[in-house]
Structure 1
């Protein structure tokens, strides 16, 4: 004879209703992205301030958030080439993001060919 010792205790009805209500709220607000794939989020003012005035900075911010969220990253000539940009285009976009406080330089680099500048999100 098998006992129920191998099963978890069922959740109380109140907790089930709370979880269902929370999930439904996400669904009705358009915040349920489960099964849709990765997302890159922006505050409305970031779109308003960057997209029209500095489209390359907005594009760079999009790429950086997509590929480097939560970790340090390098903005080098080889990175510029990897995204099809000239180094001066990358530098201008990088400087616009730094001026806006959307990225910060944590190591300026420049102490040789293997010492690139290092950035991160604030």
Structure 2
């Protein structure tokens, strides 16, 4: 082992041991607005719902595409393969559909919590 590798190892070791001492942990500032947690939770849930919806639309398009391929299949072998792909696409779409339904419920619950929090705030 040459000297530059040894020096690098020593510096890395010191950085790991002294890192927490020299850089104290930064804590998040306390929420200054009432119901900040609930509003942030609603925003995150809605953003996630947008993502899930985009995935669902993509899967729905794949199902339509594979259904068209099944109709256009000429031979029995092609039809069998395309039916298998169509079935898999429908299963993936149904799974994403279930996830979307669950995310809609999460958004609704988050909005309920936010509304309840805002109702409990003094004017």
Q: Aligning the two structures, in what range does the TM-score lie when normalised by the shorter sequence?
A: under 0.3
TM-score (norm 1): 0.22
Between structure 1 and structure 2, the one with the greater Rg is 2
TM-score, normalization by structure 2: 0.22
- Structure with bigger RCO (C-alpha 8 Å, 6+ apart): 2
The answer to which structure has the higher helix fraction is: 2
- The structure carrying a bigger strand percent of its residues is 1
